[in-house]
Amino acid sequence: MGRRRKGEPVHGWLVVDKPEGLTSTQVVSKVRRLFNAAKAGHGGTLDPIATGILPIAFGEATKTVSYAMDGRKTYRFTVRWGESRDTDDREGKVTATGDKRPSREEIEAMLPRFTGEIVQTPPAFSAIKVDGERAYDLARDGEIVELRPRLIRIDALRLVETPDADTAVFEADSGKGAYMRALARDFGVFLGTPSHLTAIRRTAVGPFILDDAVTLEHIEAAAGDPAALESTLLPIETPLDDIPAVALTEAEAHRMRCGQPVTLLRRSDRERLESLTRDLSDDDVFRAVDTIVLAVLGDLPVALARVDGAELHPVRVLNLV
């Protein structure tokens, strides 16, 4: 018999405005302890120097983490010209210096080069695994870490301000897997001057925005008051806003909770599923058979389910009864 998990069955999303100086794992551990939650995980790592949106999933919400991580992210970050560092941010050792400082016109002319789908080499000091070990552990041990370039997406890139000749502030909307530290490094390479990131703040992750966020101080103040803590949580289905919902009957919900597929007999539901496939763009045709929907019983999420013809097959059952 497996060991029973310690803590209470807390379910939902907590959006923390992460302070500088803590790792994402440290923040998760702290709020999990404050909520006395049995299970928690985060939706997208932030470096210790980063602040801003860190979505934390409790309980059954952990089954929707991938949807939060796949959503668009928005960052505001500051780049310093004339100096590169081995970590690509201010935490590392200086590796090169230079006298050139790009003009505002040069910076703005550069932005289209880094917008859209681009190839990016992740920083050596990153959480990517190399032969089973984290790249940053290998780099800290003095090993040369060579990570493969990969395709990422930058949906929008804006120059916000140039406070002085040494620094520039940017905003970026990005897809999954994009490193702002690597952008800061590559900006300098393109402009012919060493560069690194000095500050970064994440202002959005998918549907989560700063207006949803609470500080650690606020959570600590609410500790010991279950109602106050619960008021900070968002529903499990929050990152699933873009996923169609399909209503189930009591009997269908029971079958799906048992891991069994459900055949939708109601004509309205069949027509709705058919419309999902018809509405897919040419770029999304490959998803037609594997469209994911949220199966619900009234207002209660039951499962993430895969559409196969007139059948719904449970992918992740949400145990909320």
**How far, in Å, are 34, 197, 221 from residue 90 at the CA level?**
32, 6, 32
Which of 47, 89, 173, 212 is flagged as catalytic?
47
Q: How far apart are the first and last CA of the chain?
A: 23
**87 vs 12, 128, 140, 215, 320, CA distance in Å?**
34, 14, 10, 28, 43
- The span from the CA of 188 to the CA of 177, in Å, is 20
Q: Give the largest CA-CA distance in the chain.
A: 71
CA gap 108, 132 in Å, rounded? 40
Q: Which amino acid appears at position 3 of this protein?
A: R
Element (H, E) at 308: strand 300-308
Residue 47 designated active-site: yes
Residue linked to tokens 């190839």: 119
Eight-class DSSP state of 149 = P
Catalytic residues: 47
